[in-house]
Amino acid sequence: MAALQISNCASQISSEVLIARVMQIHASISTLSSLRPSKQVNSLFSNLVKLCILPSSIDITALPEEVQAMRESLINLCGHAEGLLELEFATFLSKIHQPLNNLNLFPYYGNYVKLASIEYRILNESGVSQPRKVAFVGSGPLPLTSFIMATHHMKLTHFDNFDIDVAANDVARQIVASDPELEKRMKFETGDITEVQEKLSEYDCIFLAALVGMSKVDKVKILGHIRKYMKEGGVLLVRSAKGARAFLYPVVEEQDVLGFELLSIYHPTNDVINSVVLLRKPAF
């Protein structure tokens, strides 16, 4: 999870030990009465991320059925915990003076900066450096990628942030309202992205957050919907995961993105969690 990325270390871990430890942590997380930020919650998820960024040769596709079921459960728990963590800090930031100047109070802000830098470089290398209009799908209460892109990399670009959660958009909107200039080019839309149609054709670049479409069926449905309605020649940046990192996030595979031109795939080897898949809708 972007919000829980931490320092990597060079130790190799066997698949057997990795699975045993992940299952142990999953069991502990499953007994918690709440996933709201606390010393215990933070410790468990931090230990999980430390484990999943260790060098490993694990093949997620070859996991036994019961381990796959545990993995799916764990991804949902991670997503829930990440949402609660971001909501708590977004609510705090919305109540202080100049929240956009204090984003670094969020404990994992530096990791978002790293990921945004990687994604901007990938876009730039594919000829997408200053898109006129960008959509971020699954922006959440603390849309740090949009904030960082808009203020550090794409300083003239208009951003539309889509999220299904009214409360998430409300608090994010409060943060942006503190900066009149940014507010002019950053808007928030509430609803299911699969119900958005013609509007998707307005964007030169669309970001799809890793936790939008938690199951394979949902992910493929969302990817197909975006492909259908986005503009020809537009690019879609999809966050995925590889290896042990797939215990934290859903995996997007090449067969999930049929109909797109695959421009590049980036897999991290450091403390960044997400893989980055860059796609283009062919122009016929």
Please tell me the total count of domains within the chain.
Answer: 1
**Maximum CA extent, the chain:** 54
The predicted pLDDT at position 253 comes to: 94
Q: What is the pLDDT of residues 19-33, one digit of tens each?
A: 999 999 999 999 999
Q: 23 CB contacts (<8 Å, ≥6 apart)?
A: 67, 70
Tokens (6 digits) for 136? 């971020």
Q: In this structure, which amino acid lies at residue 249?
A: Y
Average pLDDT over residues 192-213: 97
Cα 62 to chain center, whole Å?
Answer: 25
- Give the whole-angstrom CA distance, residue 263 versus residue 32: 42
Q: Could you tell me the CA-to-CA distances from 53 to 30, 181, 211, 274 in Å, in that order?
A: 21, 38, 18, 10
CATH number of 102's domain = 3.40.50.150
The pairing of beta strand 133-137 with beta strand 205-208: parallel
| Per-residue pLDDT tens digits for 110-133 | 889 999 999 999 999 999 989 999
Residue 274 confidence (pLDDT): 95
pLDDT above 50 for 8: no
**Domain span at 185:** 1-284
